[in-house]
Amino acid sequence: MKNAIIKLDDVWKTYRMGNVKVNALRGLDLAIKEGEFVAIMGPSGSGKSTAVNMVGALDMPTKGKIYLENRDISKLSESDLAQIRGKKIGFIFQQFNLINTLSALENVALPMVFQGVSKEERIKRAKNILEMVGLGDRINHKPTELSGGQQQRVAIARALANNPEVVLADEPTGNLDSKTGETVISFLTNLNKKDKKTIILVTHDMNIAKHANRIEFLKDGTIVKSKKLRIGG
């Protein structure tokens, strides 16, 4: 695929469980173009989480190659991968993974510390992003003082802190009620349409997946079906 920002080429991931080898991914091929909104679906044990780890450079394949902006990252050191993740990819997870001792502002500003952003700029940018997700009046609240939906919006704001090109959302609505979940998905859709962010969404919910441009269905560690949707072309 031309203009692919992320490409997995014949990716295998094998885990050892005692004397048994388990292939979580079996020759996975996946290409995602810049500016796409792609949903990845599949039953439990299909390899979704492992695929997410590959796409997000959180893990490396046993065999095969992973390209980010045409650069093979499958053999990079962990320190180099950490830099790539910090600059290029924003992560949103089902578990919000916020630090309870920090305020919403501090949680959002934290990723910028590792990219060498000045304190003044961190605070300014964090405030702006929290206002963008509708939490301008909650910047000094700690996660335990926020609702589940508000915590997920803080997590989204944190994912956007370093202005990543790719936003990777792994079951981002899994711990939310349906109404709040729709709000989160609408926000991700706007990020894709208005800000041209590449969105990769992992979900088991077709009502959530239908917001994407296309859906990739995983089974037994490989893609068994692709479905292109009319939304966004």
CATH number, domain containing residue 190 = 3.40.50.300
User: Could you give the percent of the chain with pLDDT greater than 90?
Assistant: 64
Domain count, the chain: 1
Instruction: Please check whether residue 42 lies inside any domain of the structure.
Output: yes
Instruction: Please check whether residue 58 lies inside any domain of the structure.
Output: no
Instruction: Please check whether residue 103 lies inside any domain of the structure.
Output: yes
Instruction: Please check whether residue 6 lies inside any domain of the structure.
Output: no
Q: How many residues are recorded in the chain?
A: 233
pLDDT tens string 64-109: 999 998 889 988 888 888 888 888 999 998 888 999 999 999 999 9
Instruction: Please check whether residue 188 lies inside any domain of the structure.
Output: yes
Instruction: Please check whether residue 178 lies inside any domain of the structure.
Output: yes
Residues 53/25, Cβ–Cβ less than 8 Å: no
pLDDT tens string 142-186: 999 999 999 999 999 999 999 999 999 998 888 888 888 888 898
Instruction: Please check whether residue 1 lies inside any domain of the structure.
Output: no
Provide the pLDDT for residue 205: 87
Provide the pLDDT for residue 38: 95
Which domain does 129 fall in, by range?
37-48+78-228
Mean pLDDT of the chain, nearest integer: 91
Instruction: Please check whether residue 41 lies inside any domain of the structure.
Output: yes
Provide the pLDDT for residue 95: 86
